[in-house]
Amino acid sequence: MTNAEEPALPNPNNHTKQSTNGDAEPHHQHDIEDEVEDEEDDEYDEDDDVVQQPNRGTPQSAASKLREQRFKVETLSRRLSSELVPIRVHDVVINGNTKIKDWVIEAELRDIENATSMQELVQASQIAISRLQDLEIFDSCKIRLEAGPRELPNTANVIVDLVETGDKVSGEFSVYTKPSTSSWTAEGALKYKNFLGYGDLWDASLAYGANQMTEASVGVHAPRVKGFLTPIMVRIFMHSQDWQEASSYKDRLLGASLGLISTEHHDLAYALGWRTLADPSQMSSRSIRRQLGHGLVSSLKYTFKIDRRNSPIRPRKGYAFLSSTHVGGLTRDPRSLRFLRQEFDFRFAVPFGFYNTALNLGISAGAVFPWGHGFKTKPSPLPERFYLGGDFSPVCTLGGPRTLWGFKTRGLGPTEPRRQNRDGSDDDDVDSSGWDFIGGDLAVTAFADFSFDLPIRWLREHGIHGHVFAGSGNAVKLTQNEYRNFSSRKFLESFRMSVGCGFVIPTRLFRLEGNYFYILRKGEHDRGKTGFRFSFSASS
Amino acid sequence: MATEENESTQRNTLVVRKSCFGLPTGCPQCLSAYIFLKFSQVQFSLDYHPNYPDSDQIPYFETGDYVTYNNEKEGIIECLKRDVGDLDTGVSSLPDWIATKVLLTTWLADALEYELWVGCSGSSAYNIYYSDLPWPIGKVLCWKKAFWVTQKHGISKDNAEVKEEEIYGRANSAYDALSILLGEQKYLFENRPSSLDAIFLAHALVVLKALPESSILRANFLERTILVRYVQQCTAEIIEASAIPSNYPDFHAEPSSSASKGRSTPGSKPKTKPKRKPQTKEEKTFRRRAKYFVVAQVVAVILFLSVRSGLGDNADLELDDAGYDLDE
């Protein structure tokens, strides 16, 4: 490019994040057009004659200078919109990084170095800014483009101006749905940024959810580790959950997890832990009683996920698919918990084009089996089985067969009678149902949800809408030779069904629902009740 | 996970810790419950719960949906007396009953606990309780339990020897008292089995089979021939009376099996007996004394003959050292 009359290029945008971060990160959002008009920040010289410096030649009036630069910007814009403007990046200069290593930043700028046109360079700059901001360790990220050396035409220098965050410690609070617990979870976390200078993010978090689920964990997220293509996440956690009411046991897991691959669609993680199942009430049924004790968990979980729905809270268009494969017992010790678990989940949203109505459909299936010597007679591990139930909406959650409207959490599926006392004195201390939900080895759920705007304008403006829904699901035991008694007809005939209607109040973090459920079909010992209830749901 | 056998046909199930050292279960508490049920001649099946060794609920007895846990009321034995039949009718009011029960449940129980976890460095205890858990978990729990035992007995580096003497001294006193009580009887009280026989027999079998040969408690027990005879007789009767199927782990009739032979797997027969039985301490003493006696007799005869012939012939008598080894 020669004799370009264009003014300097704008700085790429800093995008604002949608979160409830407690720290103050100044984000500057600019349009490209605004930046083009912000002439004082722009420097882009192809030719000495292009921009007249205040201390050179004949001083120009402010107005004529303004006109000249506007002309340059308009010319540049015309060229950029009509043709590819070839350019080559000569040098990349990083300013402002005091603690973080250069190679961590350079790894995010590789696309810039390979740009061959101005358009590509601008786009790569925007992507680089976004990636650098995702590291959460900079208060400000700006990229300037300057002319390259005079003897090398058609070149540009990229100047990266960074301001590392002064507040290394930040806090965060979030609410989400955890598929493994089939319930909402509230989590608070403290984060410490860039401790080692690798863009590492350390956090200590405390989570609390339904069924007295508590989890304390400490983790580190390293975005750039040499030799690895994706960020590495390591977490040490202690997790406990009380399933006394539904299944007469408490679950405690102490362990560590290593996130090996974490991209938009793929997630691979390894977990090693010490699991203990206990029953302080001493009322558990036979099969649960026999599984109480200690176990070594060494498992690898791979999740493939695509979510093309237009909204996680109220999807009206698109589809989503999830496949999760979980293999346990990855040690030489045959006494560790050996199992193979597979889940599928498919969602589809069909818009109808009026009053924001949409039909959401979904079907989920999952199976779990033990493996190893004598697997035909062994039971599957209790915590890995499928437990259906829970009033929160399956529309938001994506994670295998879990919920069924109208039924309590772990409120349907295979059951076993609890222990009976000869004097009957202990029966009053626990739920009087007298049955434990022991989970199924095979589970299938399906739902249909028709959502629509309400006629009141104020409600529409705040996203409050109504919905009518129907759900169905079933779970059966297949292990310990029970698969010989399995029949598809019996399985289909024993599907539970429920219908209902209600309203939904979506917020930024979760959706609050008030629904009336009507149980069409349920099992003998299922915990499902017709009636009106409130529930919280969050996207998973 | 616990293994199962004939669950559809057996309604009574005693769930115990794992089988090892040739015993149906290596845990003294579980073994006492097993023996009690055998004495009571109750039909039951045996099941194992190997992955929860630190639980105080085990052993537990299932009858359909009814379960009797060890940590309820006064323990598994008292609950079994209520549920399946009281073996102690008529004997629990005897004068020595309470004292014997205290001896068994305090001095002897403490001594065995000490020997398993401290005296023998915990190797036997690890095999009995934690060897079926994955290695890191078993090791941590084993260390935790050993630490708890030392804390319970108040053992520290300064008083370890004193405590050890005290514990072994009490055990010896208990063994002596039980030997006197037993006498020539087959059982402790009125020549019929009782719950205290079940408790003591379980203690004795674990001492004899699970502890290594270097164990002091084991050596002390073996010195009491009355107690050894008692164990042999009771064990033989239980084996004979129960007609145990071939796939059940069962007792060895001889109490002298070494603890260092390793554990047996659940549901399998014990390994074959060794061809040559190691000698007990008493047998060695007897042999030594017999040799001394024989040598003394021979020397006396020779001396008599030599003196008699010397008075007559003054002949030299060469005593041929036939290589008697007097050092045994």
pLDDT at A539: 60
Higher pLDDT, A131 or B47: B47
Query: What pLDDT does A43 receive?
Result: 41
Task: Show which of residues 322-351 on chain A sit within 8 Å of chain B, judged by CB atoms.
Answer: 331, 333, 335-336
Pick from A303, A291, A299: nearest CA to A243: A291
**Is the confidence at residue A46, as pLDDT, over 50?**
no
Residue A351 Cα, gap to closest chain B Cα (Å) = 50
To the nearest 10°, report the CA torsion of A284, A285, A288, A292: 40
CB–CB of B137 and A274 under 8 A?
Answer: yes
- Among B5, B17, B52, B144, the strongest candidate for a mutation testing the A interface, having the largest count of A CBs within 10 A, is B52
Residues of A in contact with B137 (CB under 8 A): 274, 294-296
Inter-chain contact B65–A292, Cβ cutoff 8 Å? no
Interface test with B, best of A250, A282, A330, A335 (most B CBs within 10 A): A335
**B49 interaction partners in chain A (CB closer than 8 Å):** 290, 292-293
* Amino acid residing at A17: K
Phi-psi map region of A275: left, alpha, beta (phi>0 left; psi -120 to 50 alpha): beta
Token representation of residue B59: 């052993």
The pLDDT of residue A41 is 39
User: What count of Cα atoms within 13 Å lies in the side-chain half-sphere of residue A192?
Assistant: 8
Which residues of chain B are under the pLDDT cut of 50? 1-10, 244-250, 252-276, 312-328
Asked if the model's pLDDT at residue A121 lies above 90, the reply is: no
Q: Stretch A284-294: mean pLDDT, rounded?
A: 94
Global pTM exceeds 0.90: no
Q: State the residue for tokens 């007809």.
A: A489
pLDDT tens sequence across B306-320? 666 655 444 443 333
| A285 pLDDT tier (thresholds 50, 70, 90) | very high
pLDDT number for residue B265: 35
pLDDT band at A28, cuts 50/70/90?
very low
As a whole number of angstroms, the distance between CA A130 and CA A124 comes to 10
- Plot region of B243 (φ>0 → left; ψ -120 to 50 → alpha; else → beta): left
Count residue pairs from A and B with Cβ separation < 8 A: 58
A197-241 tens-digit pLDDT: 777 788 898 988 877 788 899 998 887 666 666 678 899 999 999
CB–CB contact A331 B49 (8 Å) = no
Cis, bond preceding A383 (omega within 30 deg of 0): no
- Which residue has better confidence, A132 or A194? A132
Residue B104 DSSP code = I
Both ends of chain B: CA-CA distance in Å? 52
Residues in chain B with CB shorter than 8 Å from the CB of A417 are 65
- C-alpha distance from B124 to closest chain A C-alpha (Å): 20
**Closest residue, chain B, to A421 (C-alpha):** B66
pLDDT by residue (tens digit) across A310-340?
887 888 899 999 999 999 999 888 888 899 9
- Count of alpha carbons within 13 Å of A71, Cβ hemisphere only? 10
Query: Among A540, A213, A247, A266, which residue's Cα sits nearest to residue A402?
Result: A540
- Output the pLDDT for position A418: 93
**pLDDT recorded at residue A153:** 81
Between residues A187 and B188, which one has the greater pLDDT? B188
| CA-to-CA separations, B235 to B197, B238, B285, in angstroms, rounded | 11, 5, 27
Q: Alpha carbon of A81 to those of A118, B71, B245: distances in Å?
A: 11, 82, 90
CA separation for the pair B86, B88 (Å, rounded): 5
Closest CA to A9 of A44, A33, A49: A44
**HSE of A448, CA atoms in CB hemisphere, 13 A:** 5
Chain B positions in Cβ-Cβ contact with residue A294 (cut-off 8 Å): 51-52, 133, 137, 141
Helices in chain B by DSSP H: which ranges?
28-40, 76-83, 95-102, 109-114, 123-125, 135-152, 160-182, 195-210, 216-222, 225-242, 281-313
**A51: pLDDT strictly greater than 70:** no
Residue A182 has pLDDT above 60, yes or no: no
From CA A127, how far away is CA A123, in angstroms rounded? 6
List the structure tokens of A20.
Answer: 């409830």
Task: Give the model's pLDDT for residue B310.
Answer: 55
Q: What is the rounded distance in angstroms from the CA atom of residue A403 to the CA atom of residue A102?
A: 48
CA atoms of B158 and B160, how far apart (whole Å): 6
- Place A11 in a pLDDT band, splitting at 50, 70 and 90: very low
Mean pLDDT of chain A: 81
Domains of chain B: 8-84 (3.40.30.10), 97-241 (1.20.1050.10)
Instruction: Report how far residue B193's alpha carbon sits from residue B201's, in angstroms, rounded to the nearest whole number.
Output: 10
Q: What is the ipTM of this complex?
A: 0.71
State whether residue A421 sits within 8 Å of chain B by CB. Answer: yes
pLDDT band of residue A540 (cuts 50, 70, 90) is low
